[in-house]
Amino acid sequence: MKKAVVAVGNRSMSNAFDTFNLEVKFNLDLSDLDQRYRAVLALVHPDRFIGKTEPERRAAADQAIRLNEAYQRLKNPLYRAEDFLEAKGISVPGQGGQTIQHPTLLMQVMEWREELESTHKREDLDLLEETLKKRLDFVYQAMDTSDSLVYLYLELVYLTKILEEISYHPLRQTDAHSTHRS
């Protein structure tokens, strides 16, 4: 197991990557992240501070909260992408009422949505889902090497949203209901 060096007590930590002393990159070794999280949580868990003063207990609880928040952000690809952009000094698009200016991407998203809306067979829905998941995998891989991070981030957001919509598509709900009746 790699040594878990963590900056939980450092109030100046700027992002979730710093919290776990991780290189700023999108594609993380999630098992390494899990190990680092467990190692540090064992050090700052509030139960370890039961016999300490109130300020020490409060500080430990605050550190555990910050640790948990950073861990959850890094586990979630969308939040990890936001932190990744911010750590690279790039404003996260769409925040603060910003208008998104990527007509090529917006056209592609409209095509995906139209295809989803016109899907009436489970096989077609599965094919669309497979296509979008392949594209999502491409976006994940490109995040660490591309100069088009804003575009990739936006594509990640849209792909994630459409894939979520597919998971709640009526054709999927029909399958779920029919399996429960058997």
Model pLDDT for residues 96-138, shown as the tens digit of each residue: 666 677 889 999 999 999 999 999 999 999 999 999 999 999 9
Asked whether the CA dihedral 150, 139, 158, 71 is positive or negative, the reply is: negative
Other beta carbons within 10 Å of 24: 15
| Domain 16-87 sits in CATH 1.10.8.60 | no
| pLDDT score, position 47 | 83
- The mean-pLDDT minimum among 31-35, 43-47, 111-115 falls in 43-47
CB contact at 8 A, 67 and 8: yes
Query: CA-based Rg of the chain, rounded to a whole angstrom?
Result: 21
pTM assigned to the model: 0.81
Q: Which fold has domain 95-181?
A: Monooxygenase (1.20.1280)
Task: List the domain boundaries for the chain.
Answer: 16-87, 95-181
